[in-house]
A and B are shown apart, each in its own frame.
Chain A
Amino acid sequence: QSVLTQPASVSASPGQSITISCTGTDSDIGGYNYVSWYQQDPGKAPKLIIYNVSDRPSGVSNRFSGSKSGATASLTISGLQAEDEADYYCSSYTSSYIYVFGPGTKVTVL
């Protein structure tokens, strides 16, 4: 059972924006700026899309953005496209010197 919480699913139409929340505690998200977000297509390895709360790796679309307020991190996908349909996971460093993933959010493009 994950110590981070995410909505199980989010859906929207192409062109719209969505925000996925990832809620933790002061011992993880709230205490460190080491929050990452991953996109995973079925049967594939995850892909890093946001790290250090809001940094984007080279090659990742600027339609993906990250932020944090207190113990809740958020991933926003703007201008939703069919190719964005996937599972999205947040991850954080914790005060126990380990890392945790959220349970994942399935994004559906209507």
Chain B
Amino acid sequence: QVQLVNSGGGVVQPGTSLRLSCAASGFAFNNYPMHWVRQAPGKGLEWVAVISYDGNLKLYADSVTGRFTLSRDNSKNTLYLRMDSLRPEDTAVYYCARDLSGGGAHDLWGQGSLVTVTS
């Protein structure tokens, strides 16, 4: 079955860290760039980051640059998002998404992981 499964969300305090995972199955994970997209409660979608198929290129939104780190392990078909120095405004559902064509067309999405940053 072609799918992405998010895990690793939770409730954390400001300034702390959290790592999200995204396990891929049913397709050639190492052929696709992968993205993270987040959605704050009741708000719209916000693009967070993208990693190339081989992990050599990583790009981030200004809002997370320097705090979030994207990585992937193609041997484990898994994508990771390391989030440091978390802020209340990082509270959101985080989705991993596959890039169909290399132009940001997210054709396969995980179910999302809720991250709540609160004191």
- What is the interface of chain A, defined by CB distance below 8 A to chain B? 2, 32-34, 36, 38, 40, 45-48, 51-52, 57, 87, 89, 91-93, 97-104
Q: A2-B44, A104-B45 are in contact. Are A97 and B107 (CB under 8 A)?
A: no
| A30 vs chain B, min Cβ distance (A) | 15
Using an 8 Å CB-CB cutoff, how does the interface string of B93-119 with A read, 1 for contact, 0 for none? 001000011011111011110000000
Number of A-B contacts (CB under 8 A): 70
User: Other CB < 8 Å A-B pairs besides A36-B104, A45-B112, 5 of them?
Assistant: A32-B103, A92-B104, A98-B50, A100-B47, A101-B47
| A89, B47: Cα distance in complex, Å | 12
B11 within 8 A of A: no
Collect the chain B residues with CB atoms within 8 Å of residue A52's CB.
101, 103, 105
